[in-house]
Structure 1
């Protein structure tokens, strides 16, 4: 596992889902298991006010996760001491690596029916590859970002940009909406973010050009919302930065 302690990961998952996330054990009987697929709609329902998504948190305050199934240490990466913030390309969009952060990888390889092309190829490269999706970052309170977009960039009473999931390719902007967790063992504090890939066919560029949105129209059935989320935006890493 990465240099980030497991209790910090559990705290981050708790913040993202709005539930108390604990390690899954053989004695677990009073909650649901958190996995890659229910993590997505639960997280985005909570932080983006997607009203009708049937989030786990609404019916189950306790979630349990098998860290070995949820995380993939093979793809962890420590950007802590990286100072080269030169721009690369991912999905034909600029990608600035998260210098100063540590990425704990989520186990997404071979999890989706459309294959792994959306992830691109592993290892250092400056260019995009075929089928790859762009990178975006998601803060744990980006519903506040939505309010900023609506109130400052869309004129007229009652005119809003839209209902859906907001994220940004600008990690500095996303950091404004990150929360802080504290390691119980070392007492170190970390900001946390999600690092995602976003489907270029599903996103819309917002009135503020540094934000992307996945549209989810009001009245969309909960099963359809989950389908839209899965096809549109996929977290593949949890980022931690010591503060």
Structure 2
């Protein structure tokens, strides 16, 4: 089975989000409390679902009201034109995106998410396509995040603790270092093959806080922030554009 097969991608999404991802061909919207439509995963709720998780032990922000399964319109979520195979790429020297360091995901395969023309501020945040070591004007830095809803507490309880046992802040953590992110990656097995999976994102440099450990970045979401405001902060601050898979 190919790494790009639908079954593998759906399993990866299930691991990232902590719920069962199933194929769905309609354009039905994400379930609301007053709606009977099927919950659908898209680029806008992928970050809140996969990244916010259960970081806050007080339950302030958590997986959206997903129940046990979510449906995925593969045509709407994925953009195979921009898939990229890094499995045989060995040059892992630091590059730059958005004027910040960036480690290519050598050894991984990127499943591209369909993000072009999806945000009101256009596509400048993505930069230009293709392999390059330099930044272009207006693009956002690259970051990685590998933790799902069922494991998000780990990212706020280990490497992110400075002296005194206090985490750097409440919000979404990610890193430009693929090796650091891999230590938080989730694993799954499909048809006898085992994969690590993480998300590749772009981070708004105006919204990002650099942590004491400089390779870690934080998008702050203050305690007491409403769900609507959280959604606004996320869309302005961190945007996933690829699912990274690596056979282990």
Q: State TM-score, norm by structure 1.
A: 0.89
Partner of 2:200: 195
Give yes or no for the alignment of 1:180 onto 2:187: yes
The answer (yes or no) to whether the contact 1:47–1:143 under 8 Å persists in 2 is: yes
Give yes or no for the alignment of 1:101 onto 2:111: no
The within-5 A match list for 1:23-102 is 23-25=23-25, 31-46=38-53, 48-49=55-56, 51-53=59-61, 55-56=63-64, 58-102=65-109
Post-superposition offset of 1:53: 3.5
Structure 1 counterpart of 2:235, from 224, 230, 236: 230
Per-residue Cα deviation, 1:168-219 (whole angstroms, up to 9, x for no partner):
11111111111112223xx211100100100100011112112100000000
Post-superposition offset of 1:149: 4.1
Larger helix fraction of residues: 1
Q: Say if 1:62 and 1:168 are closer, same or farther in 2 by CA, change over 3 A.
A: same
The answer (yes or no) to whether the contact 1:107–1:236 under 8 Å persists in 2 is: yes
Q: How many residues align?
A: 235
Per-residue Cα deviation, 1:103-150 (whole angstroms, up to 9, x for no partner):
000001110001000000001221101110000010124531321245
Q: Distance in 2 between matches of 1:88 and 1:161?
A: 26
Q: Say if 1:198 and 1:47 are closer, same or farther in 2 by CA, change over 3 A.
A: farther
Per-residue Cα deviation, 1:66-110 (whole angstroms, up to 9, x for no partner):
111100000000000111122211000111211100000000111
Structure 2 counterpart of 1:139, from 146, 169, 174: 146
The answer (yes or no) to whether the contact 1:85–1:99 under 8 Å persists in 2 is: yes
Q: Say if 1:160 and 1:172 are closer, same or farther in 2 by CA, change over 3 A.
A: closer
Post-superposition offset of 1:4: 2.5
Gaps of 5+ in 1: none
Post-superposition offset of 1:25: 4.4
Post-superposition offset of 1:47: 5.3
Range moving further from structure 2, 161-170 or 139-148? 139-148
Q: State TM-score, norm by structure 2.
A: 0.88
Range moving further from structure 2, 46-55 or 168-177? 46-55
Give yes or no for the alignment of 1:242 onto 2:242: no
Q: Distance in 1 between matches of 2:14 and 2:3?
A: 19
Range moving further from structure 2, 201-210 or 114-123? 201-210
